[in-house]
Amino acid sequence: MSTTVSDVATVVERLWPASGAESWDAVGLIAGDLDAPVTSILLAVDAVLDTADEAIEQGFDMLVVHHPLLLRGVTSVASDRYKGATLTRLIRAQCALLAAHTNADVVETGTSAVFASKLGLSNIRPIVAGANAARGIGRVGTLPTPVTLGTLARSLGNILPATASGIRVAGEFDRLIATVGLCAGAGDAYLSDPSVTGADVYITSDLRHHPASEARENARAGGGPALIDVSHWASEWLWLDRAASELRAELPGVTVTVSELRTDPWDFVVVQ
C-alpha cells in the first residue's frame, strides 16, 4: 500500500504534535491532495522559490519545511508575488507542502535540542518548559569543559553552515563560559528569562539593536550573559538531519532528502 500525503501528515503530527505549536503559529499541510502518493520528500527550512524549484526539478512529491509559508495573513496568492508564485509552482507540479514550525521546536529532538547536542551540552533543560518538562522553547546546558567566549564563537563557525552574516558576539573575548542558553531561530523574547540571565552566554538569532543593547547594559550593571547572534536559517538547518532520520524511521520506502540550499536572505557583508 503506497504512502499518501495524508499518511505523511499523520506521521508529522505524531513526531511534532500541532498541540505544541505557539498560538500564533500556522503549522500543518499548506497545499496538496491528501490522497496523492508520496515516494520522496525534500526537507528545507524555508519554502522559497529556490527550494520549490529544487523539489519540482528533482521530482519530489512533497516539500516539508520549518517555516510556514502563510504565517502572515495574505489576501492574494497571485503568481506576481513570491508566496503565490511558490504555491502555484508546487501545485502545478503536484508537490505537496507542509510546515512543522514551533511544534518542531519544542520536542525533545527539536531545533534547540539538536543545537544543544551539537555543542555537547549536558544537564539540558528547556528555557521555557511546556506541559512536559522535557519539552519547551530553547535549551540551557553545561559545556563539557569551560571555554572562552572567543573559543565558543569560533566553534560555532565549525558547527553552523557558513552565511554572509556570520557570527556576532557581545562580550569579552576571554570571558570564561560554562553554562550556555540557546534558542534556535529568533529568541530575543527570552532575554530576560531567569534561565537566560543566569547563563554565561545566550546564543540565538535576529537580535535587534534595542533588546540586545538593553541585555548588554543589564549584564554590565548587574551581571548577565554574553550574547552570540547567529544566522536564523543556519541555527535551524542543523535540525533537518534529525528530522529526516525520524521521518525515514516512520515512513519506510519513502526517500527523505535534506536540501543543501542556503536560504539565509543575506548574500554578502562589508566589514568596516
Domain shared by 131 and 227, yes or no:
yes
**Mean model confidence pLDDT for the chain:** 97
Over residues 10-67, the pLDDT tens digits come to: 999 999 999 999 999 999 999 999 999 999 999 999 999 999 999 999 999 999 999 9
Q: Following CA atoms 242, 248, 249, 252 in sequence, which dihedral angle do they give, to the nearest 10 degrees?
A: 180
Residue 189 lies in a domain: yes
Residue 14 lies in a domain: yes
Mean pLDDT of 112-138: 96
Domain shared by 154 and 46, yes or no:
no
Domain shared by 42 and 127, yes or no:
no
Identify the CATH number of the domain in which residue 93 sits. Answer: 3.40.1390.30
What is the C-alpha R_g of the chain?
19
Domain that residue 78 falls in: 5-104
Q: How confident is the model at residue 226 (pLDDT cuts 50, 70, 90)?
A: very high
Domain shared by 228 and 114, yes or no:
yes
Domain shared by 9 and 93, yes or no:
yes
Residue 122 lies in a domain: yes
Domain shared by 23 and 100, yes or no:
yes
Task: Count the residues in the chain.
Answer: 272
Residue 266 lies in a domain: no
> Read out DSSP for the chain?
---BHHHHHHHHHHHS-GGGS-TT---EEEE--TTSB-SEEEEES---HHHHHHHHHTT-SEEEESS-TTSS--S---TTSHHHHHHHHHHHTT-EEEE--HHHHSSTTSHHHHHHHHTT-EEEE-SEE-SSTT-EESEEEEEEEEEEHHHHHHHHHHHSPP-TT--EEES-TT-EEEEEEEEEEE-GGGTTSHHHHTSSEEEEE---HHHHHHHHHHHHHH---EEEEE-HHHHHHTHHHHHHHHHHHHSTT-EEEE------S-------
Domain shared by 114 and 216, yes or no:
yes
Domain shared by 168 and 188, yes or no:
yes
Domain shared by 52 and 170, yes or no:
no
pLDDT higher than 80, residue 1: no
Residue 209 lies in a domain: yes
Domain shared by 193 and 135, yes or no:
yes
Residue 254 lies in a domain: no
Per-residue pLDDT at 74: 87
Mean pLDDT of 110-124: 98
Residue 194 lies in a domain: yes
Interatomic CA distance for residues 202 and 219, integer angstroms: 12
Q: Which of 52, 36, 34 is nearest to 44 (CA)?
A: 52
Domain shared by 125 and 217, yes or no:
yes
Number of domains in the chain: 2
Beta-carbon neighbour count of residue 30 at 10 Å?
19
Last residue of a domain, one of 84, 104, 124: 104
Domain shared by 228 and 122, yes or no:
yes
